[in-house]
Amino acid sequence: MNEIPVLVKDLALILIVAGVVTLVFKKLKQPLVLGYLVAGFLVSPKMPYIMSVVDNADIHTWADIGVMFTLFSLGLDFSFKKIIKMGAAPVIASMTIIFCMMTLGIVMGHVFGWSRMNCIFLGGMMAMSSTTIIYKAFEDMGLRHQNFAGMVMSVLILEDVLAIVMMVMLAAIAGGGAGGGEMLQSVLKIGFFLILWFVVGIFIIPFFLRSVRKLINSETLLIVALALCCLMAVVSTTVGFSSAFGAFVMGSILAETIEAEKIIKLVEPVKNLFGAIFFVSVGMMVDPAILVKYAVPILILVLTILVGQSLFGSMGFLLSGQTLKSAVKCGFSMAQIGEFSFIIATMGMSMGVIDEFLYPVVVAVSVITTFLTPYMIKAADPAYVMLEKRLPKRWVRSLNHLAMSHSASPADDNKWKSLLRQMIVNTLIYSILSAAVIAVMLSLVLPFLQKMLPLWWANGICGLVTISFISPFLRAIVMKKNHSEEFKALWTDNRLNRFPLVFTIIVRIVIAVAFVFYVCHKLTDFSIAILITLGVGFVVFMIFSRRLKHSSIRLERLFIQNLRSRDIEAQVHGHRKPLYEGRLLDRNIHIADFEVPFDSAWSGRTLMQLALRSKYGVHVSSILRANRRLNIPEGDSVIFPGDRLQVIGSDEQLKVFERALQDECYAEDYELEKREMKLRSMIVAGSSKFLGKTLEESGIRHIFNCMVVGLEEGKENLSQVSPSYKFQKGDVIWVVGEVEDLERLIEN
């Protein structure tokens, strides 16, 4: 028999130890991430008393796959539209926190006398709070549906996105691109490829999934999703980014498709498996000797994160428009570091730019701050009370007034700003698409044509095809928004607006001409004047071409349809919250979704019987069941397991309601073995109490909890027993029931 490969042995050891340890941590109600870290420490070669992993290289390869799938799943939960709808408040809060904490981390690294790269990477690790740990803490403490928790989760989503950008920036710095020009180039490169991939992906992937929807089942959808993830990871590494960045981008593209919810559920086990291996590999890097040696820096960093996140986090949320109490609760909730810190540390180690001691130090800091997270959340209210007592009253009033003015300030409806913003976004997107088409045609198609055809023919064909491909984009750059409501209003309201409006058209024409000029200049030896004339001529033709106009409109409609496909599906199935939710937020109440557990004692009862309004002060506005939505349910509406209830109430009311919904469940049966059903035969003897009684009078069903399945006739036949049948002496009846009930029945 062949020897089992070392990789399989290592994987078996990792999963066995991780399974045992995580069961213990689940029992202790601690985050499973910490269990994985402890499991990694136990199976590492630095723990000599038990078996350890033999081949670390293979495990790290699997861990890299785990990082990729973790970020792919993160992208599936992410939506660019969500970021846009969030407004400026989460952006202000997240940028403030990241900048302040990163600066604080760099300063602390210099205080310890660590190297420049160690300080920079330490700053990046300290800036990232843990989405997983905070979400778990909110869920365990019953705070997930409170208003401040929603704000924290919005900022965490933005932090995760900025963490992806930070990883690319840190990689550029580690690679030697630390100058201002190189940094700017890296940022522009990120923006260019991010927009390009997203726009192209929204064009292609929803169309592909829609066309094969009838052929796809759960198995094929999982394979297709993972294949797309790996494909984008390969593309990302080819252009100079990490595989994790590409996986995140593909996840965010798939998040806009109708299949997103299904993909999330299918990918979850894969992510859990490889994610567990990643966190175990993190724990394997922990060296007890280093922890002892760097005990003082670890404790100082823990205090720095607790104080820094509480202070700068509260400040960031204050600047974003939260009240002082809400800002303090948000800031204290984010006082820890987690999975992204490990990912950044892993990247630094793999690039060889940070020292080995930094990895276990960061892991130790993360473990300690994770344990302290629930206590920091609980400490927020006492901290606010102390602040309210110590701060001058006018300061508290001013801070709360600032928050109210933020929330009450109307959106800026300035027509000029709205028009210019739309024009800039439109021009930027179509310029990136045009540049990408030109790059592909000149770098891939042109060399192929030059091998097949004479030089002039190859250049001419390539030029005409390239210009024809980018012509819908160039026409959109020039003509888009020229007939918008803002443009028309500005044109008619004031004659002084007309020259600036014409100027915006001229600028966009120049941009379009520049693209045509560049293509012609690359492929011909014509003079500048001729090239400019050709560019202007092509652009004029594009403007007046009705075919190009229809092509441009059709492409944009397809993009919008693909982008909105998940929203459309949510509206059809009733999964979107009503539009009036925003108005409720101004009145200190909001809507939250709650799923009825399958073992809930509320199942089968009506809303009138449950009396939720009188008990908890909440209102059930809708019941979502399968693909149906029952709005404004009546009192006789029955609750079923798996129903999603949309409930209106204050933070405190919703908290009490959620606790009752989760607590009022049927107790778990821990003696399942005794519930086994058996089939037994029973003879009606002359002394039996059932003799002469009908089946209904015997009480076999309602007294003994058993069921008569038949009366024996001969050796092979059973006949059904009617409720009016009277048992006779010598009857052989067959009965089904639980063992204890059967024994009690036969004894009688």
Residue 583: the pLDDT is: 44
pLDDT tens per residue across span 257-284: 778 878 888 888 888 888 788 778 777 7
pLDDT in the model for residue 181: 58
State the number of CA atoms in the 13 A half-sphere of 588 facing the CB: 5
Mean pLDDT of 228-248: 83
More confident residue, 440 or 135: 440
Distance, CA of 366 to CA of 344 (rounded, Å):
13
Q: Judge contact between 632 and 619, C-beta under 8 A.
A: no
The encoded tokens of residue 437 equal 């088409």
pTM for this prediction: 0.63
Q: Residue 676, class by beta-carbon neighbours within 10 Å (0-12 exposed, 13-18 middle, 19+ buried)?
A: exposed
Handedness of CA 736, 738, 741, 747 (dihedral sign): positive
What is the C-alpha to C-alpha distance for residues 512 and 525, in angstroms, rounded to an integer?
20
Task: Please give the pLDDT value at position 299.
Answer: 92
Give the separation between CA 686 and CA 741, rounded to whole angstroms.
22
Q: 243, 212, 326, 196: which is closest to 75 by C-alpha?
A: 243
State yes or no: pLDDT of 596 exceeds 80.
yes
Determine the angle formed by the axes of helices 485-493 and 415-440, rounding to 10 degrees: 130
pLDDT at position 407 over 60: no
Residue 177 clears pLDDT 80, i.e. is over it: no
Residue 302 near residue 376, CB atoms below 8 Å: no
3-state helix, strand, coil in the chain (%, to 5): 70, 5, 25
The tokens for 382 are 């006492």
What would the pLDDT profile of 462-481 be if each residue is shown by its tens digit?
Answer: 888 888 888 888 888 888 87
Residues 6+ apart with CB under 8 A from 117: 173, 174, 348, 353, 354
- For 29, the 3-state DSSP assignment is coil
- The angle subtended at Cα 565 by Cα 564 and Cα 568, nearest 5°, is 85
332's tokens: 């204290």
Residue 301's pLDDT is 92
- Name every residue whose Cβ is closer than 8 Å to that of residue 130 and which is 6 or more positions away in sequence: 33, 336, 337, 338, 339, 340, 341, 366, 370
Q: pLDDT at residue 711 above 50?
A: yes
List, in sequence order, every residue forming a beta bridge with 595; answer none if it has no partner.
644
pLDDT band at 145 (very low <50, low <70, confident <90, very high): low
DSSP 316-334: HHHHTT--HHHHHHHHHHT
Residue 184's pLDDT is what?
A: 63
Q: How far is CA 344 from the centre of its chain?
A: 19
| pLDDT tier for residue 459 given thresholds of 50, 70 and 90 | confident
Q: How confident is the model at residue 303 (pLDDT cuts 50, 70, 90)?
A: very high
Tens-place pLDDT, residues 621-658: 888 887 677 888 888 899 998 888 989 888 888 888 88
Query: What are the backbone angles phi and psi of residue 732, rounded to the nearest 5°?
Result: -110, 110
Quote the pLDDT of residue 509.
Answer: 87
Look at residue 584 and tell me whether its pLDDT is greater than 50: no
pLDDT at 402: 55
- For tokens 């349809």, what's the residue? 561
Q: What are the helix and strand counts (H, E) for the chain?
A: 31, 8
pLDDT, greater one: 305 or 287: 305
Sheet holding 732-738: strands in order across?
677-683, 732-738, 707-713, 717-719
- State yes or no: pLDDT of 736 exceeds 90: yes
